[in-house]
């Protein structure tokens, strides 16, 4: 089921999400100041490509992660998280879309606080 879910996800929108996050990561990595945020974009892009059977793990909270998460939320994190949350709610309206809605909720959580998190296979 994991392979089928990842394939359907990638074909029906996952590729575009991956492409957008990867392009944002490349643009942010052009400047030295944007490199930390660009790395987080690449991390989220990896989750966008194949989200099934992956979970988000939080690392110990430190000053750097907290500072950068606050900065991320202020600049553009909350808009991205709200969009993913809205897409997740729309997918969950139908029974067939619930697995895809869960993946959008996962993306919303990682989009809101990307510093100090990582996606791992379970």
Model confidence pLDDT, tens digit, residues 52-103: 988 999 888 888 889 999 998 998 888 888 988 998 899 899 898 899 999 9
Q: Do the Cβ atoms of 85 and 104 come closer than 8 Å?
A: yes
Model confidence pLDDT, tens digit, residues 9-43: 888 888 888 998 999 899 999 999 999 999 999 99
Q: Structural domain tally of the chain?
A: 1
The pTM (predicted TM-score) of the whole model is: 0.84
Host domain of residue 7: 2-121
Distance (Å, rounded) from C-alpha 65 to C-alpha 117? 9
DSSP-assigned beta bridge partners for residue 56: 119
Give the model's pLDDT for residue 22.
92
């Amino acid at each position: 089921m994991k392979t089928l879910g990842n394939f359907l996800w990638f074909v029906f929108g996952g590729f575009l999400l991956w492409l957008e996050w990867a392009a944002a990561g490349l643009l942010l990595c052009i400047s030295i100041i944007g490199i930390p945020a660009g790395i987080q974009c690449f991390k989220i892009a990896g989750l966008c490509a194949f989200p099934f059977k992956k979970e988000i793990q939080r690392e110990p909270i430190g000053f750097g992660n907290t500072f950068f998460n606050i900065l991320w939320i202020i600049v553009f994190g909350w808009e991205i998280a709200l969009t993913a949350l809205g897409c997740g709610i729309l997918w969950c309206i139908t029974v067939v879309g619930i697995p895809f809605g869960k993946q959008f909720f996962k993306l919303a959580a990682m989009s809101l606080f990307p510093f100090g998190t990582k996606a791992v296979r379970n």
